[in-house]
Amino acid sequence: MTTLLDKLKQLLRLKIDRPAQPETVVGTATAVVTHANVQRLAHMLALTDLTEYSCEETFALLDEYVDLVDNNAEAEVLMPVVKQHLDRCPHCREAFEDLLNALQANLH
């Protein structure tokens, strides 16, 4: 069975003789399709875990995670998938840090 990751790896190994369309319009945004972007996507897919949370799922649990961290509980042990997402996602990490700082500023 060929997985999506296998297909992307095969595409990366192909040499394209003719230039592809450099841009693909997606809604109102323009996405540039380049070899580097496809490699980046393949790398991101390779790092993806089936138990990984999306940003929305992580954000929904962020207040609980912040409470655990603030109370010196073992947040990374109790909520390892949230911790994993925060380690990989700079935007959610920033939201976590902002929320933690705001909580600590109000309590101290």
Please tell me the number of Cα atoms within 13 Å of 13 on its side-chain side.
6
What the block records as the tokens of 62 is 């962020």
Asked if residue 63 and residue 38 are part of one domain, the reply reads no
Asked if residue 68 and residue 33 are part of one domain, the reply reads no
Listing DSSP states for 3-37 in one string gives -HHHHHHHHHHPPPSSPPPSEEEETTEEEE--HHH
DSSP E strands, 1-108: 23-26, 29-32
What the block records as the tokens of 58 is 């992580």
pLDDT of 36 above 90 = no
Radius of gyration, alpha carbons of the chain: 19
- Residue ranges making up the domain that contains 34: 4-47
Q: Total domain count for the chain?
A: 2
Mean per-residue pLDDT over the chain, rounded: 78
pLDDT confidence tier of residue 108, bands split at 50, 70 and 90: low
* 41-85 pLDDT, tens digit each: 888 777 766 678 889 999 999 999 999 999 999 999 999 999 999
Asked if residue 75 and residue 102 are part of one domain, the reply reads yes
pLDDT of 17 above 60 = no
Asked if residue 68 and residue 35 are part of one domain, the reply reads no
